[in-house]
Structure 1
């Protein structure tokens, strides 16, 4: 059987290939395609989102392949229509947004993802970004690098708030949010959770469930976003919602940029209503040169790195390879979405 490993500069094609070989042996042909992400940002390709590469290159690489393992390749209707031998696409990420699922279903192509591959990494990064934002770590580091021993950051007005005793509201409490909740509880925070799709009894294991978003915002010194981006959650935190937060609150987003109204966030930072914010994700990535985010005060920004560490790359390749093994053995797929 011919398999295409369409990797990138994070989960490399040879990493996919090594894990596939370990899982299924050497009796199959594994070809490799190298996509430009993340050195070139992902984006929409035809009708799919967050993809890397182009349809024609992928079509050529898929000729004769029955399986495609990838993170970012644009598996569009055109690609599926032009790949009659393809029977399985395994996407090494939490959501297969780079695959036209309707077209795959029409053509009898099964699609799997690799849920949970970066949950621990994203949770770790969220806590790190939250602490860096609250305690002004990047700002003070930059001052010292420039030769200034910034004693003014030790003053009451400038040293920043702490987590011990703070109320932290988490919006969304799945694989990432639940890990963040446990970590913050260990640091002395009081964690409140808003997730209308989660079982309240399960939420109680990690903090205090709150069944109304407005109520969560009114009581939260810090808010961290962990929801999926859907038509219902797009713009979830806008000007009205940010105004419900206590004065001096902190907002962190390591989920999806479009959950948060960036102009409203800038307004709240510029007015001083928010003490600080930390963003790892943006509505447009990278933010345009004229984005207000680039000049907003007390804003820590990182380039969509929360889910990136070495363990995540290996997790994605290993989980994907296990799905290919199940497919070849005729076993039910563990993470099938189509």
Structure 2
């Protein structure tokens, strides 16, 4: 009987992981658990992997004699792999297995899976929420009202922003999240420009138009929102030159990854009044440093990397990860293996 460890946390709970396993691996009751401290304690770099929680020592102890680990944040490092020779499947319940050393896992014969699309709906909704908040400056007006101010003078034409209905909104990236954002914005009556070299034909809503260059989407949009994955090609995708191409009074939204955007350049154009505002959920350094220029900008709406935070996200994460465990136990091909050379067949 294969031993399974669920290494849950305070978002993707062990109870959710084990409930999902009861559906996908009902004949494997040998399950132990380890509770990681995220998000009560922020994730951090552990060994050579990023965005992990807990410690190598606690994971090594919990993995002794364990063949399968189902987790969101546990650190799969070279040290952990060397100390846990029975491990064969490390199922990560997040959109990308950044907390796993894939090269080392491949070398040690461990398959690593992930959970694409688990938070796509939540992140799309949060993106549109940031858009609305930045357009109407809702957090700023709320803070002023709670402090005792009643500022009806914001009705001045020079101070008001655009509407989403009838606006042109540019999407940079059209994957699981970008396509959901487009569907929501279609209901608002927005016109949508999409830049994504890998877009599938026939997937755009009727009000969307595909453009061929980044420059087209930046220059033609009233609101621009980022949805690209971070790769060597997309790191720093929007910088000084790109921001200068945006319309005066436009709005920029980033709930994807901080590495896509030059934040110093963004602060410059926000301070200069070239852009009307920005809505941001991700940053180049997290947590956002106390001295960040963004904290002093009245036209920036900020949230602390919460776009994917919803109860359905946690349930979907557990379900996708447990389904991979079930496939492995039945000897079926894994659907979301990050190191396909090890798209494992069961060895015990």
TM-score tier by shorter-chain length is over 0.9
CA distance in 2: counterparts of 1:158 and 1:29, whole angstroms: 62
Q: Secondary structure in 2 aligned to 1:202? A: coil
- Quote the offset at 1:27 in angstroms: 3.7
Q: Which residue in the other structure is 2:87 paired with?
A: 86
Q: Which residue in the other structure is 2:34 paired with?
A: 33
Q: Give the alignment's TM-score, normalised by structure 2.
A: 0.94
1:231-278 Cα offsets, whole Å, 9 max, x none, are: 111111111110000111100000001111110010011000010001
Q: Tell which deviates more after alignment, 119-128 or 140-149.
A: 140-149
CA distance in 2: counterparts of 1:12 and 1:93, whole angstroms: 13
Contact 2:88 2:110 in 1 (8 A): yes
For residues 173 and 206 of structure 1, do their structure 2 counterparts lie closer, same or farther at Cα, with a shift above 3 Å needed?
Answer: farther
Contact 1:4 1:32 in 2 (8 A): yes
Q: Which residue in the other structure is 2:345 paired with?
A: none
Contact 2:190 2:207 in 1 (8 A): no
CA distance in 2: counterparts of 1:157 and 1:200, whole angstroms: 41
User: Which blocks of at least 5 consecutive residues in structure 2 are unaligned?
Assistant: 340-348
Q: Which residue in the other structure is 2:199 paired with?
A: 198
Q: Secondary structure in 1 aligned to 2:157? A: coil
Q: Which residue in the other structure is 2:309 paired with?
A: 308
What are the residue-to-residue correspondences of 1:186-265 with 2, within 5 Å?
Answer: 186-203=187-204, 207-265=208-266
The size of the alignment, in residue pairs, is 338
CA RMSD in angstroms comes to 1.4
Contact 2:68 2:90 in 1 (8 A): yes
- Are 1:58 and 2:81 matched, yes or no? no
CA distance in 1: counterparts of 2:201 and 2:235, whole angstroms: 24
CA distance in 2: counterparts of 1:116 and 1:27, whole angstroms: 27
CA distance in 1: counterparts of 2:173 and 2:201, whole angstroms: 12
- Quote the offset at 1:202 in angstroms: 3.3
Q: Which residue in the other structure is 1:317 paired with?
A: 318
CA distance in 1: counterparts of 2:303 and 2:252, whole angstroms: 14
Q: Which residue in the other structure is 2:267 paired with?
A: 266
Contact 1:140 1:153 in 2 (8 A): no
User: Which blocks of at least 5 consecutive residues in structure 1 are unaligned?
Assistant: none
Q: Which residue in the other structure is 1:155 paired with?
A: 156
CA distance in 2: counterparts of 1:185 and 1:145, whole angstroms: 34
Q: Give the alignment's TM-score, normalised by structure 1.
A: 0.97
Contact 2:218 2:246 in 1 (8 A): yes
Contact 1:182 1:206 in 2 (8 A): no
CA distance in 1: counterparts of 2:193 and 2:44, whole angstroms: 34
Q: Which residue in the other structure is 2:332 paired with?
A: 331
CA distance in 2: counterparts of 1:42 and 1:243, whole angstroms: 34
Contact 2:183 2:205 in 1 (8 A): no
CA distance in 1: counterparts of 2:252 and 2:175, whole angstroms: 19
Contact 1:170 1:225 in 2 (8 A): yes
* Structure 1 stretches of 4+ moved >6 Å: none
CA distance in 1: counterparts of 2:201 and 2:20, whole angstroms: 38
Q: Secondary structure in 1 aligned to 2:328? A: helix
Q: Tell which deviates more after alignment, 256-265 or 137-146.
A: 137-146
CA distance in 1: counterparts of 2:102 and 2:49, whole angstroms: 9
